[in-house]
Structure 1
Amino acid sequence: MSFQAYLNNIQAKTGKSPDEFKSLAEQKGFLQNGKLVPSVKATDVTNWLKDEFQLGHGHCMAIWALFKGKTD
């Protein structure tokens, strides 16, 4: 599955776009000015996404990659 397909599936499941996830992550303190806060670990983000959005691990890691700057 391509990275974009993961993002499309996440949006279909949650109703949230990648930009909306970035905004939510800023509110949670995971991102600052669009960049990952150095102390934030992948587990912090994946636990949040699993708990709040019921995403599977692969989809959570796609969001983590998005936060790290992956674009394609």
Structure 2
Amino acid sequence: MSFQAYLSNIKAKTGKGPDDFKIISDQKGFSIDGQLKPETKANEIVTWLKTDFDLGHGHAMAIYALLKGIRK
């Protein structure tokens, strides 16, 4: 599955897109201006997304990559 397909599936499931997750991540204190803080660990993001949005591991990791700046 392509990165864009992950994001499209996440949007379909949650109604939220990349910018929404950046804002929520900032509000939760994981990031600043949509970029993860250096001390934020992948497992924190994965746990948050699994708990709050019922995302699977792969989809949560796609959001982590987005927040980390690895993928846009």
TM-score normalised to structure 2 length: 0.95
Q: Percent identity?
A: 61
Deviations 1:4-63 (A, max 9, x none): 000000000000011000000000001112221111000000000000000000000000
Q: Which has the higher contact order (CA 8 A, sep 6+)?
A: 1
Structure 1: gaps of 5 or more residues: none
Q: How far apart are 1:3 and its partner, in Å?
A: 0.1
Does 1:17 pair with 2:17? yes
Q: Structure 1: which 4+ aligned runs deviate by more than 2 Å?
A: none
TM-score normalised to structure 1 length: 0.95
Query: In 1, Cα distance between the equivalents of 2:58 and 2:41?
Result: 16
RMSD: 0.6
Tell me the secondary structure at the aligned position of residue 16 of structure 1: coil
